[in-house]
Chains A and B, each alone.
Chain A
């Protein structure tokens, strides 16, 4: 089958009426499959229990229970932080940037991606908090006049992270919630259950679907999209500053900000594909989250993957071109030193495997895209590992050389982070509309009163 360029690609499969759309999206909430839900929660609980045990150990013995030691003082905790913040980039890109670019296909996936963003950022935030060693003193990170007469260091990119990530989280949350208001109202009108009705009424803020409400809503949505757009770029740029403002070879390189942003979108989209591929089957939403939509996501994955590949190449070339010995050594050491295995896993997963998406059949194969998206997730975790560890493990003085390995507690916390993330995702999928009903109906066939069909006038 080849594309007809003279027609827009349909956003739905088959003919769907507006009420059928509502029914399809509300079904998992109204007629829930509790067995499956409890099974999913059971799996999440196991992950959470592993994370909880590791957390207990950490709080009892301190960060010494991790594998950190001279010269590698940034290990899995930082890797996991960057990994999860990266995952949290797809949601806002889809909801804000693609909205401003009038990409209507985003409407069926925006809600879920936004929810994943929220949970991914929450998961990410736990790691730097734990890494401080005294998470109960986290409020020291906020600049306010205090009785301790202590002030934060405004020149540290770690503090900029506090601002960047908290701003991003706030705006993403507001964006997500504003989008949910009309849908909560729809659910309120549909449900007959008293408690549910009360809860939905509470969260729908008295929404009555009136013209005036919609006008305010549209305006708010547009403004929030405008505000969220620079945040998509700023958060991971500032995360990259954590590394790039330093003097450490392999970290200090000017391409880091856009390279990190491309990588974040790469991994974020991969995670959204991983989860959505499952959700659309389980919730029978294949006609709404269509194969065309997934294909477009795979194209974004491929494009951002190539950008990341460009950055890998450029770093290598400039390391040679710069003539700086330490820089040249670090990159050779990455590819052929003791961590070469991690480097080549990264290259294979991020640069080689996504090339399969050049083929249309692969982009449209649900099974293959699921597998490839998991490879991308693995590859992007290894990218952060390679960047963090390889640049540190051999300091300028050979007396400060070492080999970093994680302990079982590092691994446990990482497993636990998946528990945090997927608990959020499962609860969201059980109790909230996984697709924005209102937004979807706005792009459904026949919803546009001004729409006129071409080709009938002659």
Chain B
């Protein structure tokens, strides 16, 4: 059998993703509507969590595409289309951003929209609705623009295999990295840090970036394993799983390093304007969530993913990918939710909250299917594809 001609038939469909995605979106959507009936403030915060998760997946995969071009990696070339399709999640994310801007901003950002105190008054030249909207539009504009450029070149290459497309994407990647570094920091500060406008941390952009990487690689791993085990990725060896597992492990450890450094420095210096943020996440039952985050996001995955062998076992790796996706949800929940002051006796976590997670997963499946059906599942004439398929540990 020749490995050189990968004949992936684009008409092969993934009805599973489409059907399951539609069902999840429908179920999640009904749940979300119900949640808004029950508690408006709480639901807006959950919608923000869901939105941030979609940005993590979409933008994180866009970052992975650019990274591959930039460092001239080839092991990931056969699965790059999966990242390309997943980056399409930025489209529904942009939709949710507009919804929040239009209807939810007063519920989420009332600390700096409504009566600002003396400290917040000093920041209004940055924290105001007009400039906020401009930043959101610029960020999404840049992300979607670069996504369009990457995908255009990548898909055009499927026809004639001209290397000029790769060369162009390398050029775009260099610029994208600069735009990415600034825009993801701005997004993290705007959507999360400004929920508590008194608090500040220079590390915050990096913190969100680290979580983004973990979840983006996990989703990519999950889709890769599923598609390859179903036979949709001919020629991709299981050694590719090792690389994916390695990235999950490395990025997760990086996340822990960033999270620990941020906490340690604030705890040690013990300045009231900074510690307040962590105190909020320790009192009133939040202690359990914080501890769960440490154990669930770092300690257990660290030991479970440490071994070299387990990174090539598909079922185990898929399990760990699901695990880390939920861990990122927990992380976002921990970042956003303590800023919502619940009514007396409101629970920390309600069953109805799950519908937001369901909706997010449904969105990812639907948009993945939508993007996938537009092109071959592998970049069939990418000059690096052959080296990627020959990749051995």
A residues in contact (CB < 8 Å) with B = 2-9, 100, 230, 233, 237, 241, 244-247, 252-258, 306, 310-311, 314-315, 318, 321-324, 358, 450, 452, 454-455, 457-458
**Contact indicator A318/B261 (Cβ below 8 Å):** no
**Contact indicator A6/B202 (Cβ below 8 Å):** no
For the complex, give the distance between the alpha carbons of A306 and B179 in Å. Answer: 12
In B335-393, the 8 Å CB interface with A consists of: 383-384, 386-387, 390, 392
Of the candidates B181, B258, B269, B387, the one having the most CB atoms from chain A within 10 angstroms of its own CB is: B269
Chain B residues positioned under 8 Å from A244 (CB to CB) = 265, 269
**Contact indicator B261/A245 (Cβ below 8 Å):** no
Chain B residues positioned under 8 Å from A314 (CB to CB) = 185, 202, 205
B128 contacts the other chain (CB 8 A): no
For the complex, give the distance between the alpha carbons of A7 and B163 in Å. Answer: 12
Closest A residue, CB atoms, query B73? A101
For the complex, give the distance between the alpha carbons of A311 and B206 in Å. Answer: 10
Of the candidates A5, A100, A310, A454, the one having the most CB atoms from chain B within 10 angstroms of its own CB is: A5
**Contact indicator B200/A457 (Cβ below 8 Å):** no
Closest chain-B Cβ to A415's Cβ sits at a distance in Å of: 35
Interface membership of chain B positions 163-188, coded 1 if the CB is closer than 8 angstroms to chain A and 0 otherwise: 10011000000100010011001000
**Contact indicator B203/A8 (Cβ below 8 Å):** no
**Contact indicator A254/B4 (Cβ below 8 Å):** no
Known: A247-B269, A252-B269, A254-B261. A5 touches B392 (CB 8 A): no
**Contact indicator A246/B206 (Cβ below 8 Å):** no
For the complex, give the distance between the alpha carbons of A254 and B273 in Å. Answer: 14
Instruction: Please count the residue pairs between chain A and chain B whose beta carbons lie under 8 angstroms apart in the complex.
Output: 96
Chain B residues positioned under 8 Å from A5 (CB to CB) = 72, 163, 166-167, 383-384
**Contact indicator B271/A247 (Cβ below 8 Å):** yes
Closest chain-B Cβ to A243's Cβ sits at a distance in Å of: 10
Closest chain-A Cβ to B182's Cβ sits at a distance in Å of: 8
**Contact indicator B200/A6 (Cβ below 8 Å):** no
**Contact indicator A4/B202 (Cβ below 8 Å):** no
B257 contacts the other chain (CB 8 A): yes
**Contact indicator B2/A310 (Cβ below 8 Å):** no
Known: A254-B266, A458-B4. A6 touches B273 (CB 8 A): no
Chain B residues positioned under 8 Å from A241 (CB to CB) = 264-265
Closest chain-B Cβ to A205's Cβ sits at a distance in Å of: 27
B123 contacts the other chain (CB 8 A): yes
For the complex, give the distance between the alpha carbons of A315 and B200 in Å. Answer: 11
Chain A residues positioned under 8 Å from B119 (CB to CB) = 323
Closest A residue, CB atoms, query B182? A310
For the complex, give the distance between the alpha carbons of A244 and B201 in Å. Answer: 12
Select A457's contact among B2, B178, B206, B387, beta carbons within 8 Å. Answer: B2
For chain B, the bracket of interface size reads 35 or more
Known: A245-B268, A252-B265. A323 touches B167 (CB 8 A): no
Chain A residues positioned under 8 Å from B163 (CB to CB) = 4-6
Closest chain-A Cβ to B186's Cβ sits at a distance in Å of: 10
3 A-B pairs with the lowest CB-CB distances in the bound complex, closest first:
A255-B202, A6-B383, A254-B203
B residues in contact (CB < 8 Å) with A = 2, 4, 72, 74, 119, 122-123, 126, 163, 166-167, 174, 178, 181-182, 185, 200-206, 246, 253, 257-258, 261-262, 264-266, 268-269, 271, 273, 383-384, 386-387, 390, 392
**Contact indicator B4/A310 (Cβ below 8 Å):** no
Select A454's contact among B123, B205, B265, B386, beta carbons within 8 Å. Answer: B386
**Contact indicator B206/A258 (Cβ below 8 Å):** yes
**Contact indicator A323/B123 (Cβ below 8 Å):** yes
**Contact indicator A246/B185 (Cβ below 8 Å):** no
Chain A residues positioned under 8 Å from B258 (CB to CB) = 258
For the complex, give the distance between the alpha carbons of A5 and B246 in Å. Answer: 24
Of the candidates B166, B182, B200, the one having the most CB atoms from chain A within 10 angstroms of its own CB is: B200
**Contact indicator B386/A6 (Cβ below 8 Å):** yes
Closest A residue, CB atoms, query B261? A257
**Contact indicator A254/B201 (Cβ below 8 Å):** yes
In the assembled complex, 13 residue pairs joining A and B whose CB atoms fall closer than 8 Å, in A order, are A4-B163, A6-B383, A6-B386, A9-B72, A245-B265, A255-B201, A255-B202, A310-B181, A314-B202, A318-B202, A321-B200, A358-B174, A458-B4
Of the candidates A100, A323, A358, the one having the most CB atoms from chain B within 10 angstroms of its own CB is: A323
Closest A residue, CB atoms, query B164? A2
- Known A255-B206, A457-B4; 14 more pairs at CB < 8 Å: A3-B72, A5-B72, A6-B383, A6-B384, A244-B269, A254-B265, A254-B266, A257-B261, A306-B178, A318-B202, A323-B122, A324-B273, A358-B174, A454-B386
Select A4's contact among B178, B264, B383, beta carbons within 8 Å. Answer: B383
For the complex, give the distance between the alpha carbons of A237 and B261 in Å. Answer: 8
For the complex, give the distance between the alpha carbons of A256 and B202 in Å. Answer: 9
Of the candidates B203, B205, B258, the one having the most CB atoms from chain A within 10 angstroms of its own CB is: B203
For the complex, give the distance between the alpha carbons of A310 and B4 in Å. Answer: 43
For the complex, give the distance between the alpha carbons of A458 and B266 in Å. Answer: 63
Closest A residue, CB atoms, query B189? A321
Select B262's contact among A246, A254, A315, A452, beta carbons within 8 Å. Answer: A254
Chain A residues positioned under 8 Å from B264 (CB to CB) = 241, 245
For the complex, give the distance between the alpha carbons of A323 and B123 in Å. Answer: 8
For the complex, give the distance between the alpha carbons of A237 and B182 in Å. Answer: 23
Closest chain-B Cβ to A2's Cβ sits at a distance in Å of: 7
Closest chain-A Cβ to B248's Cβ sits at a distance in Å of: 14
Chain A residues positioned under 8 Å from B268 (CB to CB) = 245
**Contact indicator A322/B178 (Cβ below 8 Å):** no
Chain A residues positioned under 8 Å from B387 (CB to CB) = 6-8
Of the candidates A241, A314, A450, the one having the most CB atoms from chain B within 10 angstroms of its own CB is: A314
For the complex, give the distance between the alpha carbons of A407 and B237 in Å. Answer: 63
**Contact indicator B383/A256 (Cβ below 8 Å):** no
Closest B residue, CB atoms, query A8? B387
For the complex, give the distance between the alpha carbons of A3 and B164 in Å. Answer: 10
Closest A residue, CB atoms, query B127? A321
Chain B residues positioned under 8 Å from A322 (CB to CB) = 200, 273
Chain B residues positioned under 8 Å from A233 (CB to CB) = 257
